Amino acid sequence: MTKKGLPKYVYADRGYVRFIRRARGLSVMMKEEPGTPEFWDHYNRLLKGKEPAPVKRNFEALILSYFESDSFRNRKPRTKSDYRKYIEHIRKIWGKKDPAKIETHHIYQLQQANADSWRRANYLVQVMVILMNHARLVGILKKEHGNPAKGIPLFKQPGEGWEPWPESVRQEFESIAPERARLVYELCIGTGQRIGDILSMRWDHFKDGSWDMCQGKTDKAMWIPLTDRLKSHLSTVEKRGLTVVTDRAGRPVKYHSISHEMRQVKAKMTHELAAQYVTHGLRKNATIELYLAGCDDEMVKSVTGHSGVEMLKKYGGKIRQRVLATQAQEARNRMEQSKNGM
């Protein structure tokens, strides 16, 4: 099609053609090659006044697209909740910005601006990695540009992670905790699992004195014999519903409800530092008890479900090193005794 043969309302414009219909206030650049099926499709839509609104290239559109993706839909409920929380923070500050214009230094500045909370700062970087990867998948970012959120060093958790509850705190908690809070406490100590798995435990997961289910975070199948202490405590618990931990009507309980209840109990305690010990710290207590009982790394992992030794170092802390060092030196002593006996 020559320029002279352009259809009604279409004019040559800077290497392309433009549809101009002043009576309707339309002036639209058409980048399709005149005469092609794509051109005629676009032209016919413009004749009907149905020019589609351009796709917005901003974080609000990107976030909505990600929430509708299988990648997000297949996440665990707790993970979805966390993602929504931190993605909302990103939407508030960058909602109208074009993701393609965000560079590594912008994300680094975002992390540093939240440095007062290492967990929040790191999580913001991690969800940015996910969002920017999705931006590449849907064509907002070009693959050759890479993911600008990758490679930003994460803050290290202060100390050795969540602190285990000292004996004084445990004793006072046990003495004043109401029925449900005490049940959560005993399940955490007895199985060494994350609170999400504690709340999803069902009575039919307990068979022949053992716990048999998959961890929610890792999808790892776990079979754990119950300690005598936990068996004894569970024998006193009334079965109100399918899950072990329920509300008064026998319905499953949400994480925030239990978190609030555990904080209320600690607020009533006389121990001045009780409030600083979180429920997740009980997982560390269980890990330490396993080491003190003489378990090696593989035995500990078989109960707690930790995926690697690095996490065990974090959870076992100094106790792990001391126990392993003691076992190693005792092995040397036995070797020396064997030599002297020869």
**Residue-wise pLDDT tens digits, 182-237:** 999 999 999 999 999 999 999 999 999 999 999 887 788 999 999 999 999 999 99
> Average pLDDT for residues 320-342, to the nearest whole number?
85
pLDDT band, residue 1 (cuts 50/70/90):
very low
> Average pLDDT for residues 163-172, to the nearest whole number?
95
> Average pLDDT for residues 7-11, to the nearest whole number?
91
pLDDT band, residue 16 (cuts 50/70/90):
confident
Please give the residue that has the higher pLDDT: either 267 or 159: 267
> Average pLDDT for residues 284-299, to the nearest whole number?
92
Give exposure, 261-300, as e/b (b: 16+ Cβ within 10 Å): bbeebbeebebeebeebbbebbbbbbbbbbbeeebebeeb
pLDDT at residue 55 tops 70: no
> Average pLDDT for residues 251-272, to the nearest whole number?
95
pLDDT at residue 159 tops 70: no
pLDDT band, residue 160 (cuts 50/70/90):
low
pLDDT at residue 19 tops 70: yes
Q: Give the integer Cα–Cα distance in Å for 130 and 37.
A: 37
Q: Give the integer Cα–Cα distance in Å for 122 and 151.
A: 12
pLDDT band, residue 263 (cuts 50/70/90):
very high
Q: Give the integer Cα–Cα distance in Å for 79 and 87.
A: 12
Lowest mean pLDDT among 60-69, 155-164, 323-332: 155-164
pLDDT band, residue 2 (cuts 50/70/90):
very low
- State the pLDDT at residue 261: 97
pLDDT at residue 287 tops 90: yes
Please give the residue that has the higher pLDDT: either 229 or 319: 229
Task: Return the DSSP state at 310.
Answer: H
Our CA angle for 217, 223, 229, nearest 5°, is 105
**Tokens at residue 60, please?**
């609000």
Lowest mean pLDDT among 156-160, 271-275, 297-301: 156-160
- State the pLDDT at residue 44: 87
> Average pLDDT for residues 11-39, to the nearest whole number?
82
Domain positions in the chain are 3-47, 59-145, 167-326
pLDDT at residue 50 tops 70: no
Q: Give the integer Cα–Cα distance in Å for 310 and 124.
A: 23
- State the pLDDT at residue 119: 87
**What percent of the chain has pLDDT above 70?**
95
Instruction: Return the CATH number of the domain spanning residue range 167-326.
Output: 1.10.443.10
- State the pLDDT at residue 222: 92
- State the pLDDT at residue 290: 94
Please compute, for residue 112, the number of CA atoms within 13 A of its CA located in the half-sphere on the CB side.
Answer: 7
pLDDT at residue 175 tops 90: yes
> Average pLDDT for residues 79-96, to the nearest whole number?
92
Rounded to 5 degrees, φ, ψ at 272 are -65, -20
> Average pLDDT for residues 247-267, to the nearest whole number?
95
**Tokens at residue 316, please?**
């076992």
> Average pLDDT for residues 19-42, to the nearest whole number?
83
pLDDT at residue 85 tops 70: yes
Per-residue H/E/C for 152-183: CCCCCCCCCCCCCCCHHHHHHHHHHCCHHHHH
Please give the residue that has the higher pLDDT: either 250 or 318: 250
Average pLDDT, the chain: 89
**Residue-wise pLDDT tens digits, 122-137:** 999 999 999 999 998 8
